[in-house]
Amino acid sequence: MSAIDRRGTLLFAPALAVFAIFFLIPVGFFFVVSFWQLKFYNLVPAFSFENYGEVYREYLHAGVFTFSIALTIATLTTVFAFLLAYLIRFRAGRFGPALLFVVMITLFGGYLVKIYAWKTILGTQGIVNTGLMAAGIIDEPIAWILYSPHAVVLTLVHFLLPFAVLPIYGALRGIADDPLEAARDIGASPFRVLVDIVLPQAMPGLIAGFALAFLISAGDYVTPRLVGGTSTFMVGNFIESQFVNRLNAPVGSALSFSVLAACLVTLAVATLLARRLLRSR
Amino acid sequence: MQGSPGHAMTAPERQPLVRLRGISKRFGDVWAVHPLDLEIHEGEFLALLGPSGCGKTTLLRLIGGFIEPTDGHVEIGGRDVTRLGPERRKTNMVFQSYALFPHMTVRQNIGYGLRIAGRQQSEIDTKVNQLLELVHLGEFAARLPKHLSGGQQQRVALARALAMEPAVLLLDESLAALDLKLRKAMQDELRALHRALGGTFVFVTHDQSEAMALANRIVVLQDGRIVQDGSPHDIYTAPRTEFVAGFIGEANVFDGLRRAGTVELPTGARISEPGPDGRVVVVVRPDSMAIASAPFDSEVAMTGLIEDVMFLGTHFRVAVRLDSGESIFSHLDAATPSADLAVGKRVHVGWRKDGRRVVEAA
């Protein structure tokens, strides 16, 4: 190992230590716990797949629902973020940086602040309902605008948008202008340029944005509780409930790792599909 | 008259392949190209030559359809294409930066235009194979552009444009990024391609030697205007302005004043050249500037001291300080006895009447 390599390892050490102590060790612990049993609220070491069986029996339905919502959110977020990043990179000209700055500024608004903002907008006394009533389109407030899966999707797409814009914009910024002109020159329509030249090169950013949005929404339990209403329970809510209300760490852990595994598989499949779709011939 | 189908048959002279009529381009307050007319004929290898900022690239991009003119019309093959984008013109460009698609292999890059055009895969393969052979890149077909050298990328860009069988091939400073040796090799390849394929090439360059080496017609641009248009030989031997004389090849330039058909030079020499009174410039190419130990038959008779002698293989480059103070230089045959060329030696300097040009002062 050369001197530079050694110094590099040294620089890496603090981050590695934090990562190991506060992430790897706890995660490893809960992975082990997911095979343990709970007897009279006491953890009993064991090696049993019973917890995973329970997860499969009790929570498969919630899991499928959660993933369909998370996929919807991730897809919408990625599409909107791509449009916004594309606008900033290719269409906004000198206003691009200003627009990017505005996107960044929305990151300063906290997570809960945004959720409550949407509660205010969508609630029975919110702008949407009062507006529609004032316009005479409806007679009484529509309750299901808030407290529904739609509200969860809306809130999370709004919250996640800047997070997805960043990696996608980064990828688009790496795309040179000349090859786009060259593609036009040899007969490609603007749409073909987008599909054949821009999207394949933006792929790493699109995957990063999609993964970020998907993972955050699949694991979220605050948004569904605050704007999802009584019928929208996502897997995160059940994990929270297992740990906090039932004090059942083994089932909570098993549920967590099932979700984690399912997330990884989903992302791998999504990445493969996207790559195949945009492969150059 | 444009657009009528019978026009080409009734036209007595050959119709130009590209015709720019009153074309101009303004960016904000700056005129990149002043209104100008230009006709390009089938089979020409035309150089748009000028210093940076002279509008040559803008002119090329107007032909290619990458920008819309502020005013005027572009016709290609008798059809008005002014408002059509590059994908709808029979022109193809080789970009200065090569502009290859980084995520596609060499083969995919070259075949992309044909694929867009909806050709059969077998037809694309055949065509791409031919082009790979033409630009000597057969063994690199499966590589990505980033794994190629600059010269190889250049040839991929060329093959990609040629795949479309353009009516006009546009080259935007395409060789500028290559080192000297590679540039010479690519120049030879381009000439060979033009001979082999025929077709019409238009290229932009700021390098006068490249323009001379490649083109059979040179259009010299200055500040968005055409200052001279002719064969390389014409432009070299008969520059119309001081700018052209200075830009194309080396030149000795004397400021002069013309009165009643006689031009007086600062050296005191007088030559007769009819024309309007006023400031003029006398241009003498170094190969027309004669130096001798004894007086000789010359339009002007001047003397000076040899200041410097450089042997350049094919010729000597001799610098002489004239008695009047000006410095001139001359190219002398490599066979000149070196005794005649001692530094500090007093020599007679002059030129034959057909060896100089009197042009308007800038």
CA torsion A230-A235-A241-A243 (nearest 10°) is -170
Whether the Cβ atoms of residue A185 and residue A252 lie closer than 8 Å to each other? no
Please check the confidence at residue B7 and state whether its pLDDT lies above 60: no
Return d(Cα B342, Cα B308) in angstroms, integer: 8
Q: Does residue B111 carry a pLDDT above 90? A: yes
Q: Which of A153-157, A175-179, A276-280, B90-94 has the lowest mean pLDDT?
A: A276-280
Q: Cβ contacts of residue B301 below 8 Å, gap of 6+?
A: B269, B295, B348, B350
Give residue-wise pLDDT tens across range B116-147: 999 999 999 999 999 999 888 999 999 999 99
> What are the chain B neighbours of A201 within 8 Å (beta carbons)?
102-103
CA of B355 vs chain A CAs: smallest distance (Å): 46
Which of A188, A201, A280 comes nearest B87 by C-beta? A188
Contact B112, A196 (CB under 8 A): yes
Residue B200 CB partners (closer than 8 Å, separation 6+):
B17, B18, B40, B41, B42, B43, B44, B45, B46, B167, B168, B169
Sole residue written with tokens 């013109």: B89
pLDDT bracket for residue B13 (50, 70, 90): low
Tokens describing residue B282: 């006398």
Check whether B350 has a pLDDT greater than 60. yes
pLDDT of A270 over the 60 cut: yes
Is B353 or B6 the better-scoring residue by pLDDT? B353
Mean pLDDT (whole number) for B171-199: 84
Please check the confidence at residue A99 and state whether its pLDDT lies above 60: yes
Q: What is the pLDDT of residue B321?
A: 94
Q: What is the pLDDT of residue A86?
A: 96
What pLDDT score does A280 carry? 72
- Do the chains contact at B117 and A187, CB–CB below 8 Å? yes
Residue B327 makes CB contacts below 8 A (sequence gap 6+) with B307, B319, B320, B321
Radius of gyration from C-alpha coordinates of chain A: 23
Q: Radius of gyration over alpha carbons of chain B, in Å? A: 25
- pLDDT the model gives residue B249: 82
Please list every residue in chain B whose beta carbon sits closer than 8 Å to the beta carbon of residue A185.
Answer: 64, 66, 86-87, 91-93, 161
State ipTM: 0.80
Using a CB-CB cut-off of 8 Å, the residues of chain A touching B91 are 185
What mean pLDDT do residues B235-255 have? 88
CA B183 to the chain's CA centroid: 15
Over residues B47-51, the mean pLDDT reads 94
pLDDT surpasses 60 at B4: no
Q: How far is CA B305 from CA B79, B197, B243, B283, B308, in A?
A: 62, 53, 28, 21, 9
For residues A24 and B148, what is the distance between their CA atoms, to the nearest angstrom? 43
Band of residue B184 on the pLDDT scale cut at 50, 70, 90: confident
Residue A196 near residue A277 (C-beta atoms within 8 A): no
Banded pLDDT at B49 (limits 50, 70, 90):
very high
**Any idea what the Cα angle at residue B282 is, between residues B276 and B283, rounded to 5°?**
135
Distance separating alpha carbons of residues B356 and B288, to the nearest angstrom: 7
In this prediction, residue A281 carries a pLDDT of: 67
Residue B10 has pLDDT above 50, yes or no: no
Residue A110 pLDDT exceeds 70? yes
More confident call, A210 vs B278: A210
pLDDT of residue B12: 46
Q: Measured between alpha carbons, how far is B173 from B157 in angstroms, rounded to an integer? A: 13
What's the pLDDT at B123? 95
Q: What is the torsion angle, in degrees rounded to the nearest 10, for the CA atoms of residue A101, residue A103, residue A108 and residue A109? A: 140
Q: How far apart are CA A247 and CA A96, in angstroms?
A: 50
Q: Given a cut of 50, is residue A107 above it in pLDDT?
A: yes
Query: What confidence tier does B238 reach under pLDDT thresholds 50, 70, 90?
Result: confident
pLDDT in tens, A15-42: 999 999 999 999 999 999 999 998 888 8
Residue B241 DSSP symbol: B
Q: Are B264 and B300 in contact (CB under 8 A)?
A: no
Cβ A237 vs Cβ A222: under 8 Å: no
Q: Tell me, what's the pLDDT at B5?
A: 41
Asked if the model's pLDDT at residue A61 lies above 50, the reply is yes
Residues B108, A280: C-beta atoms closer than 8 Å: yes
Hey, are the CB atoms on A280 and B102 less than 8 Å from each other?
Answer: no
Residue A246 scores a pLDDT above 90? no
Contacts of A89 (CB under 8 A, 6+ apart): A96, A169, A172, A173, A175
Question: pLDDT at residue B3 above 60?
Answer: no
pLDDT of residue A218: 92
Average pLDDT, chain A: 90
> In which band, very low, low, confident or very high, does the pLDDT at A119 lie, cut at 50, 70 and 90?
confident
pLDDT at residue B148 is higher than 70: yes
The least confident of A200-209, B31-40, B98-107, B182-191 is: B182-191
- pLDDT of A2 strictly over 70: no
Compare CB distances from B160 to A186, A192, A281 and report the shortest one's residue: A186
Distance from C-alpha of A21 to C-alpha of A176, rounded to nearest angstrom:
42
CB A253 within 8 A of CB A259: no
Of B85, B161, B164, the CB nearest to A184: B85
* C-alpha closest to that of B290 among B336, B319, B330, B342: B330
Are B66 and B54 a contacting pair, CB within 8 Å? no
State whether the Cα torsion A109-A157-A168-A8 is positive or negative.
Answer: positive
Q: Which candidate, B13, B8, B1, B23, places its Cα nearest to that of B219?
A: B23
Rounded CA separation B141/B129 (Å)? 9
Q: Which residues of B are less than 8 Å from A281 in CB distance?
A: 108, 115
Q: Give the pLDDT score at B134.
A: 87
